[in-house]
């Protein structure tokens, strides 16, 4: 059974600081996703990572994938308040579905 562990679950950061969210998964998958969710909203797709060593960057967020270690990271650089949200990683299942981590609730404080 594919399981996804995400940590930390809660993250309080100061503006301008850097931090990393980790996503470990238990069995092989060919797809890893990162989503952002604002309160009361649906999911906003951030990154899709498909191969070992994949690295994608968008603004202050950078995601990477190590399929051998079954680990993905979401790195936040110089955080700003607008990044406050819940971030989910999700791993592609064999039937096209996604298995989600528990999410990381990020709060960026001035």
Partner 1 sequence: SAVISQKPSRDICQRGTSLTIQCQVDSQVTMMFWYRQQPGQSLTLIATANQGSEATYESGFVIDKFPISRPNLTFSTLTVSNMSPEDSSIYLCSVYTGMNTEAFFGQGTRLTVV
How many whole angstroms from its chain centre is CA 37?
11
- Structure-token pair, residue 3: 């399981």
Nearer to partner 1, 22 or 77 (CB): 22
Least Å distance, CB 92 to partner 1, is 8
Report how far residue 11's alpha carbon sits from residue 108's, in angstroms, rounded to the nearest whole number.
8
Least Å distance, CB 83 to partner 1, is 19
Least Å distance, CB 70 to partner 1, is 18
Q: What are phi and psi of 82, to 5 degrees?
A: -65, -15
DSSP letter for 78, please: S
Least Å distance, CB 80 to partner 1, is 24
30 touches partner 1 (CB under 8 A): yes
Report how far residue 67's alpha carbon sits from residue 57's, in angstroms, rounded to the nearest whole number.
18
Q: What residues between 37 and 96 interact with partner 1 by CB under 8 A? A: 40-43, 45, 48, 50, 88, 90, 92, 95-96
- Give SS3 for 45: strand
Return residues touching partner 1 (CB under 8 A).
30-31, 33, 40-43, 45, 48, 50, 88, 90, 92, 95-103
């Amino acid at each position: 059974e594919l399981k996804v562990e995400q940590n930390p679950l809660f993250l309080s950061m100061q503006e301008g600081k850097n931090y990393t969210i980790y996503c470990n998964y238990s069995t092989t998958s060919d797809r890893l996703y990162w989503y952002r969710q604002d309160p009361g909203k649906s999911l906003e797709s951030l990154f899709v990572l498909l191969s070992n060593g994949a690295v994608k960057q968008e603004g202050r967020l950078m995601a990477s994938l190590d399929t051998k270690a079954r680990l993905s990271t979401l790195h936040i650089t110089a955080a700003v308040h607008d990044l406050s949200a819940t971030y989910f990683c999700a791993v592609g299942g064999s039937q096209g579905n996604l298995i989600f981590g528990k999410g990381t609730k990020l709060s960026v404080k001035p």
